[in-house]
Amino acid sequence: MDKRYELYCATNPLFYDSPGRRADGGRDPAFASPRLPKGWDQVVKDEWTVCVPAENASPPRQGWKIHVSACLDNAEDVLAIASDYCVDRGVSFKFLRTRFILHMRNAKYAPRGGSGKFITIYPADDAELEVILTELGGRLAGQPGPYDVVHD
């Protein structure tokens, strides 16, 4: 059975709907928006909160993306570490807006194309990709992801 519909079923008890349009407004204090300095734009798009420095009005049109995973228990810490890193370096990123959406993305039958993704980071080029993977990877070392929790 194709389980991709589950995310849309769980959003509203009566109708299929996008997870970003939950009846509770999709608000979750644990995923409060990071403090962005002047010159940054923040846009809420369905399931995501997108953070972009104004001088870099949009992420690169093509290139690498970095996906960061987290569990419900450590998502707030992972978001704080990753967002502080990106803001300090002027790197665009987005993160899932709510714990509910993260929970559904980490579920066993989540669509494989989006499963496990909590934060997406948009490096400007290959050199920045390598730097971010090395530096941010070191800061996030030891943080469990969905696979780690399931297989402990």
Tell me, rounded to whole angstroms, the distance of Cα 63 from its chain centroid.
Answer: 18
**Interacting residues of 114 by C-beta distance below 8 A, sequence separation 6+:** 105
Task: Determine whether 17 is exposed, middle or buried from the number of CB atoms within 10 Å of its CB (0-12, 13-18, 19+).
Answer: middle
| 80 CB neighbour count, 10 Å cutoff | 12
Q: pTM higher than 0.85 for the full model?
A: no
The predicted pLDDT at position 14 comes to: 58
Can you read off the two tokens belonging to residue 149? 């929790």
Crossing angle between the packed helical segments 75-89 and 126-140, to the nearest 10 degrees:
140
The predicted pLDDT at position 114 comes to: 78
The predicted pLDDT at position 68 comes to: 97
Q: Reduced to 3 states, what is the DSSP secondary structure of residue 52? A: strand
Q: How far apart are CA 102 and CA 98, in angstroms?
A: 6
- pLDDT tens, the chain, 152 aa long: 445 556 565 555 555 666 555 545 555 555 667 889 999 999 888 889 999 998 766 667 788 999 999 999 999 999 999 999 999 999 999 999 888 889 888 887 777 777 889 999 999 999 999 999 999 999 999 999 887 655 44
Structural domains in the chain?
A: 28-150 (3.30.2430.10)
The predicted pLDDT at position 25 comes to: 52
How big is the CA angle at 27 (ends 23 and 28), to the nearest 5 degrees? 130
